[in-house]
Amino acid sequence: MDIFLIGLIAATLRVATPLLLGTLGELFAERAGILNLGIEGTMFFGAFVGFVVGGATGSLWLGVVAAIVAGILSGLLMALLSVQLGVNQHVSGLGITLLLVGLSLFGFRLVYGEPRVPPAIEPFGRLSPFGQTPILGPLFDQYALTYIAFALVPVVWWLLYRTSFGLQIRAVGENPEAADAAGVNVFLTRYLALVVAGGLMGAAGAFLSLAQLGAFTYGIIAGRGWVCIALVIFGNWDPVRVLWGALLFGGVFALQLRLQITGLQLPYETFLALPYLVTILALAIAGRNAAYPAALLKPYKRE
């Protein structure tokens, strides 16, 4: 394998990491029947909180934990609105995104003022179990969070398809009345799904600020949350197919980085936009076949 290809694959895994974390999170929410458009803001908030806590304590892992907690809080807020009060999910999710982006920027100004250069920290180092071995070495030269994100795919699959928790999530997302009649606590299940979802989204944000960038910028998420929403549809609400979607998007993204370097006569933004357009194209192809969870967007009310 040539160096270009190995580098491309390694970069793909890196780019795919936050997408994978966010998408798995959104998957949980949507399988339980909640479209969480708060994802963009939750990732942003996670990136910010992770960065601040990591920077202040000197412990990056503490930063990750803080980001997860921040994400969980966001999930709880979404649950309060969409599960408890039955508010329109589109508007409440977008509201949460706007709130958390505003809150993060507010906090950023409070902590850092208006710096000319974005504040930076020493980011996570990479783990290279294969050292300098050809092919495997550079391929497995990744952040711990990347390994964790990919390891989460089978874990999420197992949770969804092999546990009572997953069974309940799938049931409340398809037919909450039936789940309720069977003795499942629909509200609790949806709350838990949103909590797990929020935690994963927070971690996705922390990966960007604490590993990939080692900094916090206003454009740190730049629509990645929306890409995750698209990937859930693209992956047909299945954790394994979602993985392929994240890799495809990550691959296109990594490729555009390399195409930029090769100096093609096109503005680099063309390549930046490419993955978004590819995603839209993929959605168009999936089209009517998309098997949305039947209860998605529908608040559940007894009586």
Contact set for another protein, span 15-34 (CB under 8 A) = none
Spatial contact of 93 and 38, defined as CB atoms under 8 Å apart: yes
Residue 157 interacts with another protein (CB under 8 A): yes or no: no
DSSP state of 81: I
Kindly state the smallest distance separating residue 67's Cβ from another protein, in Å: 19
* Residue of the chain from 3, 5, 91, 264 that contacts another protein (CB under 8 A): 91
Q: Which stretch binds another protein (CB under 8 A): 5-13, 58-66, 82-90, 132-140?
A: 82-90
Using CB under 8 A, which of the segments 6-14, 49-57, 166-174, 240-248 binds another protein?
166-174
The size of the interface with another protein (CB under 8 A), counted in residues, is 72
Whole-angstrom distance, CA of residue 176 vs CA of residue 179: 5
Q: Which residues are CB-neighbours of 197 under 8 A, at least 6 positions away?
A: 25, 26, 27, 28, 29, 36, 75
The CB-of-96 to another protein minimum distance in angstroms stands at 7
Q: Which of 147, 150, 157, 276 is the binder for another protein (CB under 8 A)?
A: 276
Please answer whether residues 254 and 15 qualify as being in contact, where contact means their C-beta atoms are separated by less than 8 angstroms: yes
Q: Is 79 in the site for another protein (CB under 8 A)?
A: no
Q: Is 281 helix (H, G, I), strand (E, B) or coil?
A: helix
Q: Of 36, 42, 168, 209, which lies in the binding site for another protein, with binding defined by CB under 8 A?
A: 168
Q: How far is the CB of 249 from another protein (least distance, A)?
A: 11
**DSSP-based three-state secondary structure for 184:** coil
The token pair that represents 244 in the structure block: 């392929």
State yes or no: residue 81 binds another protein (CB under 8 A). Answer: yes
DSSP letter (8 states) at residue 215: B
Please report, as a single letter, which amino acid is at residue 160.
Answer: L
Q: How far is the CB of 290 from another protein (least distance, A)?
A: 8
Work out which of 11, 120, 257, 272 binds another protein, going by CB under 8 A.
Answer: 272
**Smallest distance, Å, CB 36 to another protein?**
12
Q: Does 197 bind another protein (CB under 8 A)?
A: no
113-152: contacts with another protein (CB under 8 A): none
Instruction: Assess 188 for contact with another protein (CB under 8 A).
Output: no
| β-pairing verdict for 126-127 and 142-143 | antiparallel
Is 179 an interacting residue with respect to another protein (CB under 8 A)? yes
Cβ(35)–Cβ(225) below 8 Å: no
Q: Is 122 helix (H, G, I), strand (E, B) or coil?
A: coil
- Does 96 help bind another protein (rule: CB under 8 A)? yes
**Contact (CB, 8 A) for 18 and 179:** no
